[in-house]
Amino acid sequence: MKSRKAVTVLVEIVKYVVLIAGALFTLLPFVWMVLSSLKSGGEIIMIPPTLFPKKVLFSNYVEAWTAAPFPRYFLNTVLVAGITTVGVLLTSILSAFAFARLDFPGKKIVFSLFMATLMIPGEMLLITNFVTITKLGWMDTYQAMIVPWLANVFYTYLLTQFFSSVPDALYLAAKVDKCSDLKFLFKIMVPMNKNAITTVAILSFIGSWNSFLWPLLVTNSKEMRVLSYGLVRFQSEAGAQYQLIMAASCILVLPIVVVYLILRKYILEGMAYTGVKG
């Protein structure tokens, strides 16, 4: 009996050691980013590198923040990420419903083609899409940063999985009650899967928030730039002001962390059912 208890305690200890070590390991870059953002320009390039700043400089944040019109970038990023997220949710919910509940000619083929597009390396589409945007006259506008991202196969697939797991009986009952498809979708399906939808929302928001190459390509004016552009400004061919890059990175990440902390419960629950019905 006693030895058994000892084993249990040992297992517990090992568990925490693994968890803490793992957490430290995964967190290291994050910690490094924060600590580096407080170092001087000289200290950050020291060899061998230091972990903790010898002198803590909060001024890097001020310098990074004032080096570019960050408030405007911030507003743009929130707008673009927000609208993209709402839009992609809407289109994904509609198409997921079609795949999960409706029967239509060519459904299997469309779905396969759909999934196949997941495999395309996005870089290849860049130039053609850029030309399309200019032909539409959308250069330097919000819709150039938003519209191409309003269809997302990955999210549609995820939501299709969730919607399929809602029992058929519910749908048939709704049909008997003369409930229209659209009403059923938004009155029953969506509320039932609100966790999954929250998850897709945050994934989309993070993706849009961090996107860099495309916004840089389709915007020109200061008024249209987004936050991630602020990072490039501290790098050049001859060297980089790492301390400012790190400070700007922290500024970029902070809102996401806050959003995550607020929605954490929903995200975990939202992910929960993907596995139950494959």
Partner 1 sequence: MKKKSFKGYIYLAPVLIIMLVFTAYPLVRAFIMSFYEDYNAVNGTYSGINIENYRALFASSDFRTALANTTIYVLFVVPLSVIISLLIANLLNSHIKFQGLFQTLYFLPYVTSVIAIGVVWRWILHSQYGLLNGILNFFGIESIGWLTDRRYSMASLIIFAVWKSLAFNIMIFLAALQGISPDLYSAARVDSTPRWRVFFRITVPAMGPIIAYAFIMGIINAFKVYNEVYALFNGAAGPNGYNSAITIVFYIYDQFYNNKKYGIAAAGSVVLFLLIMVFTMIQKLPAKIRARKEAAQK
Partner 2 sequence: MKTKRLVAMGIAAVMGLNLLTACGNGSTSSSSGSGEGVTITFWHAMSNAQEQSLTELTDKFNAENGQGITVELVNQGAYKDLESKLTANAAADTLPDMAQAYNNYVTDYVDKIVPLDDFVKNDFDNWEDIVEGYRIENSEYGFISGLPFNKSTYPFFYNKTMFDELGLEPPKTWEDLETCGAVILEKKGIPMLGYDSMCDMLEIFLRQNGAQYVDETGALFNTPEGLEAVEFILGLYEKGYARLIGEDSYFSNLMSAEQIAGYVGSCAGVTYIVTDNEGHEFELGVAPIAQGKYNAAYNAGTNLMMFTKDEAKQKAVWEYMKFLTSAESQVKWSIDTGYVPVRTSAYESDTYQEFMNGDTPGAITARAAYGQAPYGYVPSNYFKGANEIRNKVSDTLTMCISEGRTAQETVDALVQAIDEVVK
Which residues within the stretch 93-152 sit at the binding site for partner 2 (CB under 8 A)? 94, 126-127, 130-131, 134-135, 139-143, 146-147, 150
Backbone torsion region of residue 239, taken as left when φ is above 0, otherwise alpha when ψ lies between -120 and 50, otherwise beta: left
Half-sphere exposure of 102 (CA within 13 A, CB side): 17
CA–CA separation, 196 and 85 (whole Å): 14
Cis omega (within 30 of 0) for bond into 48: yes
Nearest Cα to 242, choosing from 102, 39, 105, 97? 39
> Which letter, b or e, does each residue of 154-183 get, where b requires 16 or more Cβ atoms within 10 Å of its Cβ?
ebbbbbbbbbebbeeeebeebeeeeeeeee
Nearer to partner 1, 209 or 224 (CB): 209
Q: Measured from the CB of residue 224, what is the shortest distance to partner 1 in angstroms?
A: 19
Interface characters, 47-66, with partner 2 (x: CB under 8 A): x------x------------
Considering only 6-14, 18-26, 214-222, 262-270, which stretch makes contact with partner 2 by CB under 8 A?
A: 214-222
Q: Which residue's CB is nearer to partner 2, number 65 or number 266?
A: 65
Is 259 an interacting residue with respect to partner 2 (CB under 8 A)?
A: no
Which of 69, 82, 87, 255 lies at the binding interface for partner 2 (CB under 8 A)?
Answer: 87
Closest to partner 2 by CB, 102 or 119 = 102
Which tokens is 115 given?
Answer: 């999934």
Residues in touch with partner 2 (CB under 8 A): 41-43, 45-47, 54, 79, 83, 87, 90-91, 94, 126-127, 130-131, 134-135, 139-143, 146-147, 150, 180, 182, 216-217, 220-221, 223-224, 229, 232-241
